[in-house]
Amino acid sequence: MQAVIATGGKQYRVAVGDELDVELLTAGDDGTVTLTPTLIVGDDGEVSATPDALDSAAVTATVLDETRGPKLTVFMYRNKTGYRRKTGHRQRHSRIRIDAIDV
């Protein structure tokens, strides 16, 4: 069974057992998180994409780790004024494992 989920402004195609890095998620006390914005669910050639079928669909995942992504350099420059600013940013990510896809 596969599903397409949306989290952090991005869409991911997932199956049970997949591990992926998504933008930072806050997990419950037991370390699980439920991803409810499910866009499509497919199982052996049958695809469910109607809003009625997807209202009850949920993807359950376990948060394994929290990491930081690569450093992005931001350089601001204005011509002929001597204005230069160099800053950096590292996005925080959560590594999750998909445990169940409920339809």
Evaluate whether 63 touches 41 at the Cβ level (below 8 Å).
Answer: no
Q: What's the pLDDT score for residue 28? A: 84
Q: Which of 1-15, 21-35, 43-57, 78-92 has the lowest mean pLDDT?
A: 43-57
Helix extents (H) in the chain = 51-55
Please say if the pLDDT value at position 71 is more than 90.
Answer: yes
Among the listed residues 96, 91, 37, 49, the one whose alpha carbon sits nearest the alpha carbon of residue 69? 91
